[in-house]
A and B are shown apart, each in its own frame.
Chain A
Amino acid sequence: MSPSGAELLRQVKSQIEEVDPAVVAEHLGNGMVLVDVRETDEFGVAHIPGAKHVPKSYLETRIEAAAPDKDAWVVLYCASGNRSAWAARTLTEDLDYKRVASMTGGIALWKDRGYEVATPKALTAEQRDRYSRHLLMDEVGVEGQIKLLESRVLLLGAGGLGAPTALYLAAAGVGTLGIVDNDVVDLSNLQRQVIHTQDRVGVPKVDSAEQTIANLNSDVKVVKYPVRIDASNIMEIIEGYDVIVDGLDNFPTRYLLNDASVRLRIPVVSASILGFDGQLSVFAPYEGPCYRCLYPTPPPAELAPSCGANGVLGVLPGTMGLLQATEVVKLILGEGEPLIGRLLLYEALGATFTELKVRRDPDCPICSREPESISDDEMGVFPDYEAFCAAAG
């Protein structure tokens, strides 16, 4: 009669060396290679600091990467000391490792003894599936995906630019999306504002956007600001966000946002659109130029038409909004070359991109100074401000 599982385990344990957690605690980091043979999700919840991870099911193919020296002292552990016993026998008998042991009692006993465990943030099984195309990329991976999930991005406007940006940032797993918009969905918005739907005409845009995002990705928390941003609320709203996405429709608020974001050192991914033309840049305070370095004063009203008055090709805010979303993701991941100190112009009819250099202005009224010296009264003010605003009505 063949032995029962329990008997077989006893036999295996009699054939291998077992070591107490105290021995591991004493020798870890002193030439001992410690290998966790549990599954990925178990390792993600908690593991012994310094341990390498080779799931038992991949032992034969992956152990040599974790422990290339077959004469090294290799200690395996699992949850309670059983799987690691089997794995130790495999290493010894099949893979020719010379000095292998299994840690008695596994990580459970290790923890009972009061030794330290690392509890890294980990993705759930569902998240690993949802973000699997990110996890396959070296530039993102688990670490990058966790950065995205822990990031806070503020969208100024859930309109033409904000709609596609919000959709893709939500899909990418940006954990907190703040949305500032005091408008309601209008039928004429739906030609380009793809986050809204025709059954939500008349609904506040922040509510409509929240509903679409909730249906797309429940990992994302939406923080709604159904207000018009102004000098009295901007500092309170933007504080604590990692990146701001500017899709504002007027100059005074763009200057106000610039000044507040410089004060709080928050990077702004800025885009604007008109007709078939779009502009895009990243303003990273004190690292590159600010919006005022690029545009010290706004143009007079006749040279500053809005989309409402002049029309915009419906797909153009999609193009520009997704370029913004791309820059946001790059900033969060810390990958690539963000569009800092560069202005990208896109002309849709000719399908041309033009890149211009943007320099920091050493005499910039805002970013040439220390952020603490910028006062509330100065924020959003620019030369001829009163005349501009009077003309704009």
Chain B
Amino acid sequence: MVNTANVTTRPEDRFVAEFERFEALHTNGSSEHFPLLRQKALRQFSATGFPPRKSESWKYTNIGSILRRPYSAPDTGTVRASGLDGLGAYVAVFVNGHFDASQSTLDDLPEDITVASFTDQTQAGRVRAHLARYAAFEHEPFTALNTAFVHDGALVHLPAGIALSRPIHVIHAVTASYAALLQPRTLVISEDGAQAQIVQSTEVHTKMPVLINSVTEIRVGARAQLDHLMLQAGTPSTSNVANVSVYQETESKFYNGSFTFGGEVVRNNISILPDAEHCETLMHGLFVARGTSHVDNNTLMDHAKPNCFSSEYYKGILDEHATGVFNGKVLVRQDAQQTNAYQTNRSIVLTNTAHMYSKPALEIYADDVKCSHGATTGQLDKDGLFYLRARGIRADEARRLMLISFAGDIIEKVPAASLHRVLYREVERLLR
């Protein structure tokens, strides 16, 4: 065993050491939890290491200083999750990575729908069949790291043809008296024709630095319709690397909404692969950052098959010393004829010390396609501001109203109407 007190030059070594410590704690009796997968992922992680500073996809985000901190995977903890008021969801709560049945409200779920912990023995076969199938870790060191630590996680299974009227909400809460490494894992499997909304959020109940490295795998069955929302609202010392991998089957519809409200360094890696014809994908995102927050959205819309539609729309508001990054790629592979793909990024930079880096990219190998993208960065519309002031509204209030309506463009498009109020509340809180 590596002595963690040793000063190591590579941050990777520290994580490997932490793995070994964590592993020793968890192998007593539960070694059947995908040991091979975890070992393989660890080997992959230590071989690849974290992305080099100069790699193209990390060009604008330096996560090195975050990774050099000594994190520990937390033990079981107790904390009351705050949840999201007014969402009216079926809630599954995980504290420090462990399922907390006492705080979850899953009893009134329709009985053929499963929302369970990976440790639920009745679901072991299902988890094993799908885990790490959609989120490949070969080229994703953060996914590899997460996979190496997988013990518990949230499984959502939606049987064919069901339509759920209330959202499912998975909460990951963390509490610790030391720098904590939380690695939530979520697996959503929807069978053919299922319809549901899944909301994921993280809660940090500590002032200590926290690194959340989450992986979410989603499979959208044929003709299924799934909405997936991700809410990140961390403390100024929370860093978040969120990896979302989505696999869409024929004629399915998928909405992804990513909402980031602060955090020290946030990096979202969202990758969606419609691997069959006639799929529709909406990829929306909103980030509001202030202080010295750094938010990086790295997305891949991977069109592999013909006749699909996708529309990506990201908006950002950068205040104070914050930095925003939009690094979005639309890839249209050679077979993906008749693809219609759109990508838009609009950002507002409010101060002299805020920064925005936008890199919307199209990579297209099929000729019979309609693809376009656009990006704008600027300030608030002066005419709009003037109009509001001419109606007697104070300048700062006018500015706030304009910003809220700028963000509202994304919020209003969220399919779960019960979330609109929750999201507006967050935005208003940040823009106060």
The judgment on whether A and B are partners is no
